[in-house]
Amino acid sequence: MNSLRLIPLVVERDVRILFSDSFLVGIMFANFAIDLFVTAATFGRLIPSGNYFLYIAPGSNFITASVAAFQSGRDVWREKYIKDLTSYLLSLPAPRPVFAFSRIVGGVVRSLIATFPGTLVISYLYGITFDPRIFAAFMIVGLFSLGIVGLSITVSSFASSIEMFVTVRSAIQLYLSFLSTLFYPATVFPSILTPLVASNPMTWAVEAFRSLPQAHGLLGPVSVLVVPSLAFALLGTVCYLWYAKL
Amino acid sequence: MSSSSTLVNASSKATPSAGPSLMAQMALRDISVLFRTPWIIISRSLAFIIQLFVFAALISQLVNVPGLDFFQYYAVGSVVGTVGSIAFIIGYDIFEEAEEGVLDYLLTLPVSRRQFIIGRALGGAVRAMVYATPMFVIVAVLERFTNPLSLAVAFFDLFLLAFGITGLSITMAVSVRSANRFDVVLALTELAIARASTALYPIAYMPVYVAALAPFSPVSFAADSARAALVGSSLDLLSLAGLVAFVVIFLGLGAAFYFRKLEGGVYA
């Protein structure tokens, strides 16, 4: 069997794991709804200059994407330490690099599914629902998720306890949320924090999404995320291979 | 994540009149359990520091509402939110104990069920306060809150919130059966209670559907009462009464649910 044909099977397994408790998918959407319709809506009224609600709206969806992406890393961690499944998974007839790559793809697909309603809502708010640019919206969410899935699998490879995994996840989520242009423009940051903000994947993702209504092509806003997301995905793949060594 | 040495030492000398002492031992055990898990303390402390010194500092440059010092408003609210967040952790501990079988051991100790349950709730609240006190001090120093009576009232508000949330968290821990589901439900409840409250933003700026609910959030009761004491040097009796009602209801519910599960429920 061509090993590449195994990729959809591994991805399907990951998606089935996501839906093994479909309640969780609903909760993720509820999380998104609270972020958007409570927090973003209130800050939109507190900061009337420009349209602050629309400014921070994409961030709610990217936060949900990062939560879903980190859930993949958590599942990988549970497979090793709780379910003791690593040996079984490595006995499957898929070369390890293909298997590791498939897990990353599986995480991205799961994240896209979890954020599907959110991406539609934000696209509607941005007026691109019935426009080809909606594909760019999904591509941006997918590329962002690719990077974060890579990061989450990297963390799961090194975390020896679930507390450590959760702590590192929280720290990364704090970095993604508060040290990016999700809530405020880059100009309000002190210069010492500028490099951290400029190198934050959340900054690239929200800026790419915000540029969609003015974009004339699909590739412009998407291209900025390609290289860093692929780099994080590669890191996640390498770490997964290292972690899966018996 | 469980530790029982403190309790074993105490219970070996237990007598029927040793009730308060045993409850205190139960509470001490929960406090030591939290401080043996530095990861939780690190992540919550980091969240508080970044929220206060990055988010609040930057976003208050954008908020331009006459008569509202948003940094001060957010600083008090973030301490209230942190107390709530730490108080929720007791639910994780109770769920984990049941999963790992530690609960069975705890139930063999010569501690009455009532002492056991009240001790757990007290421990959850006290450890939240122990943890949040340095943050409270940081905010008090930053905002120059110096009136001892105001500080005492605000501290009491935080303790009541922690006590009530502990009850809520225990209620949820013994009501949800799946580990994954429990994790997410607790996180969502924590998010909903904190965001749909006046801890982080004034009610006047909330959309109507949130403004209709926010006055009934326990976090709003605590935040409003603490702000009235610290900023206005006054007593917000309505919020205080709401907070007391929240504590009574959820401690009662938590105790009732926990008691029912201990006596032949899902963990039997």
**Residue B50 pLDDT class (50, 70, 90 cuts):** very high
Mean pLDDT value of segment A55-81: 90
Residue A187 belongs to domain spanning: 3-243
- Confidence check: pLDDT of A83 > 80: no
Decide if A75 contacts A152 (C-beta within 8 A). no
Query: What's the rounded Cα separation, in Å, for the pair B65 and B81?
Result: 23
Considering only the beta carbons, identify the residue of B62, B70, B184 that sits closest to A27: B184
Using a CB–CB cutoff of 8 Å, tell me whether B212 touches chain A.
no
Nearest chain A Cα to B186, which residue? Answer: A27
Contacts of A70 in chain B (CB under 8 A): none
A29 touches chain B (CB under 8 A): no
pLDDT band at B267 (very low <50, low <70, confident <90, very high): very low
Residue A1 has pLDDT above 70, yes or no: no
Listed by number, the residues of chain A in 146-205 with a beta carbon closer than 8 Å to a beta carbon of chain B are: 161, 163-164, 166-167, 170-171, 174, 178-179, 183-184, 188-189, 193
pLDDT for residue B224: 95
Neighboring chain A residues of B57 at a CB cutoff of 8 Å: none
State the pLDDT at residue B10.
44
pLDDT digits (tens, 9 = 90+) for B18-44: 556 777 787 788 788 777 777 777 887
Considering only CB atoms, B207 lies closest to which of A41, A164, A193, namely A41
Lookup: tokens for A123:
């696209």
pLDDT at residue A214 in the model:
84
What percentage of chain A carries pLDDT values higher than 90?
A: 50
Residue B9 has what pLDDT? 47
Whole-number Å distance between alpha carbons of A71 and A94: 23
pLDDT exceeds 80 at position B261: no
Q: Say yes or no to pLDDT of B11 above 60.
A: no
**Pick from A64-73, B21-30, B72-81, B185-194: least confident:** B21-30
pLDDT single digits (tens) A138-175: 999 999 999 999 999 999 888 888 778 888 888 899 99
**Residue B14 has what pLDDT?**
46
* pLDDT the model gives residue B216: 92
Query: A190 to chain B, minimum CA–CA distance in Å?
Result: 9
Per-residue pLDDT, averaged over B152-159, amounts to 95
Please report residues of A whose CB lies closer than 8 A to that of B192.
Answer: 34
Number of folded domains in chain A? 1
How many interchain CB pairs under 8 A, A with B? 96
Nearest beta carbon to residue B39 from set A21, A163, A193: A163
Mean pLDDT of chain A: 88
A43 touches chain B (CB under 8 A): yes
Give the pLDDT confidence of A111-141 residue by residue, as tens digits. Answer: 999 999 999 999 999 999 998 889 999 999 9
**DSSP H stretches of helix in chain A:** 7-19, 22-34, 41-46, 52-81, 86-90, 96-125, 133-158, 162-178, 194-198, 201-210, 219-243
pLDDT tops 60 at residue A8:
yes
Q: What is the pLDDT of residue B18?
A: 57
Cβ-based contacts of B187 with chain A (< 8 Å): 31
DSSP string, A147-171: HHHHHHHHHHHH-SSHHHHHHHHHH
Question: Over the stretch B73-119, which tens digit does the pLDDT of each residue have?
Answer: 999 999 999 899 888 888 888 887 877 778 778 777 777 777 777 78
How high is the pLDDT of residue B114? 72
Residue of chain A whose Cα is closest to the Cα of B210:
A38
Q: How far is A35 from chain B (nearest CA, A)?
A: 8
Among B46, B55, B65, the residue with its CB nearest the CB of A46 is B65
* pLDDT exceeds 50 at position B268: no
Quick one: average pLDDT of B57-65? 91
B188 or B153, higher pLDDT? B153
Under an 8 A CB cutoff, do B63 and A47 touch? yes
- Asked if A170 lies within 8 A of B43 by C-beta distance, the reply is yes
Q: ipTM of this model?
A: 0.84
Binning pLDDT at 50, 70 and 90, where does residue B120 land? confident
Single pTM value for the model: 0.83
The answer to whether residue B62 neighbours chain A at the CB level (below 8 Å) is yes
A43 vs B contacts (CB less than 8 Å): 59, 201
CA distances from B99 to A28, B33, B57, B87, B179 (A): 25, 16, 42, 20, 9
pLDDT tens string A179-204: 999 999 999 999 999 999 988 999 99
Cα–Cα nearest to B56, from B39, B79, B36: B79
With an 8 Å Cβ cutoff, is B49 touching chain A?
Answer: no
Interchain contact A46–B (C-beta under 8 A): yes
Average pLDDT, chain B: 83
Cβ pair A41:B206 closer than 8 A: yes
Q: What is the pLDDT of residue B2?
A: 42
Closest-CA residue of B relative to A34 is B192
pLDDT score of B4 more than 50: no
The residue type found at A15 is V
Structure tokens at B41: 């303390």
Q: In chain A, what residues touch B40 (CB-CB under 8 Å)?
A: 163, 167
